Structure 1
Amino acid sequence: MEQHQKADKLQKNFGQVIRNRRLALGISQENLAENCDLHRNYISEIERGIKSPSLKTITLLAIALGCLPHILLQEAEELLNDDTFTS
C-alpha cells in the first residue's frame, strides 16, 4: 500500500475508533465535543475521516473517552493491518 493511501486509510480508521469508543460509552458527538472543547461538526469530520486531528486534539479525545492517546492510534493501526490481510 502506498504511503499516502496508508495514511488516508489510517485517518479513516482513527475516525472509526473514535466513533466506536464514543458509542460504547453512550455519548453523543455533541457531548464528546463539549468534553473536549471542540465543535460537534469537527467531531463528525474526524469520525468520517475528513479531518486529521492534531496531537493536542487526539489527547483531548483520549481523555474524554477514558484511554491513553496511543491506544486510539494503536487501534486505528490494528484496523489498518486487518484491512491489509482482507484486501
Structure 2
Amino acid sequence: MTLEQAFGAAVKLRRLEAKLSQEELAEKADMLGSALGRLERGAVSTSLETVGRVAAALNTKPWALLWFAGQIQTGVRLEALEPPPHIAGD
C-alpha cells in the first residue's frame, strides 16, 4: 500500500466515523468533491495545506491524521489501533 493510499484510507475512515458524506467533508475542507474522491482512493499526492484543511474539517490535527495513515500503511489491524501518543503543546 502506498502512502497516498494509506492517507486516503485514513481520511475515508475518519470521515465515516464523523458520519459525513464526501460532499459534506469536501465543502468543510474547501475542496471539490471529485478532488476528495481522488484523495480517498489514493490516486493523488496531496499538499500539506490540503492535509491541514482536511484534518481541520475532521476536527483533528494534521499529525494525527498522518500518524493514522502510517499505522494503516504498516498493516496494523484497525481493531488494534491505539490513539496517537500525546505530543506536548497539542
With the length of structure 2 as denominator, give the TM-score of the two structures: 0.80
Unaligned runs of 5+ in 2: 77-90
Match of 2:71 among 40, 64, 78: 78
Aligned length: 76
How large is the Cα RMSD of the aligned pairs?
1.2
Alignment of 1:2-81 (within 5 A): 9-81=2-74
Structure whose residues are more often helix by fraction: 1
With the length of structure 1 as denominator, give the TM-score of the two structures: 0.82
Task: Kindly provide the CA deviation profile for residues 11-59 of structure 1, in whole angstroms up to 9, marking residues without a partner as x.
Answer: 1010000000001111111011111110000000000000111000000
Percent identity between matched residues is 36
Runs of 4+ in 1 over 4 A off after TM superposition: none
Residue 87 of structure 2: aligned partner? none
